[in-house]
Amino acid sequence: MQYRRLGRSGLQVSELSLGSWVTYHNQVDSQGATEMLAAAYDAGINFFDNAEVYAMGRSEILMGQAFKALKWPRLNYIVSTKFFWGIDREGNTVNRRDTLNRKYLMQAIDGSLARLQLDFVDLVYCHRPDPQTPIEETVQAMSDMISQGKALYWGTSEWSADAIRSAYEIADRHHLHKPVMEQPQYNLLHRGKVEQEYAQLYEDIGLGLTTWSPLASGLLTGKYQHGIPDDSRGALASMAYLHDTLTDPAKNKAVAGLAQIAAELGGNVAQLAIAWVNKNPRVSTVILGASKLAQLQDNLGALALTPKLTPEVMARIDALTLPLLD
């Protein structure tokens, strides 16, 4: 496992990391979460990603239970959470969901820390942009979170380049803590933000990336070439909106071609897809998701493929995937 700086910060994150979206509580129980975190940590992973909204807070609870059971030195691991949607879906939720206003944010961080059983999180994200709240208010609240010792670095997820730049400039102008990282979707079939929209931000503000969905919600594993398996993530009711994409004939034909390239390199298509994301030097860490320990262990095999992605191999991959970009 190699470690990379998170943007221009001094924080070193493992090139592969482990997330909990969809899996924790929905597919993984407390014992499974503990086993996977332990295996990831033993493999050199030091960053574990979460969010308040994942399983309506239950994902954070499971991760917190695992941390307590594993008893790792707090200096040795990095934890994140993210805020925007909130978890209270009943009653008067005007100040608790779909917002980045100060009231919500300052209460949300306390809730996450309680569920994670931590004194602070290392990374905290604005999970989506909020056009209804002045960006100055959000920047001040996120900076205050850090000043209060409840988080160490803050960033954004799926924000536009213009919004990220605006937040950075507001923080710089008012001597506040600046956003350090962005968490965008990035994979072989979804590249726009990382490769084009954010291109200038890497040099101008030193933006770091903690990317999600390297396997395009499982499409790049090859498991959906013949429909939706009953035991797959795609079979979950919450993932029904992805069925047309996961079973798209053209995309699955490309996946078959990628599998051939992966086999030539001594791996499988999932490992190839993760290695491809990892190959990008702008990516600080690639967030993996796994519902079984065997999946996590298999995905870690991407590390062996990364150095095998020569310019010639990358060109073959592009020939298969560029015509299909989202």
In 101-207, the DSSP E strands lie at: 121-126, 151-156, 179-182
- 210's enclosing H/E stretch is strand 208-211
54 is catalytic: yes
Backbone angles phi, psi at 182, to 5 degrees: -130, 145
Q: What contacts 71, CB < 8 A, 6 or more positions away? A: none
Q: How many Cβ atoms are within 10 Å of 76's Cβ, its own excluded?
A: 8
Phi and psi torsions of 123, nearest 5°: -125, 135
Residue type, 202: Y
Cα 322 to Cα 326: distance, rounded to the nearest angstrom: 9
Phi and psi at residue 189, in whole multiples of 5°? -110, 5
CA end-to-end distance (rounded Å), the chain = 30
Q: Name the maximum alpha-carbon separation found in the chain.
A: 57
User: Which of 24, 54, 125, 153 is labelled catalytic?
Assistant: 54
Q: Are 158 and 107 in contact (CB under 8 A)?
A: no
- Residue labelled with tokens 């954070």: 60
The residues that are catalytic are 54
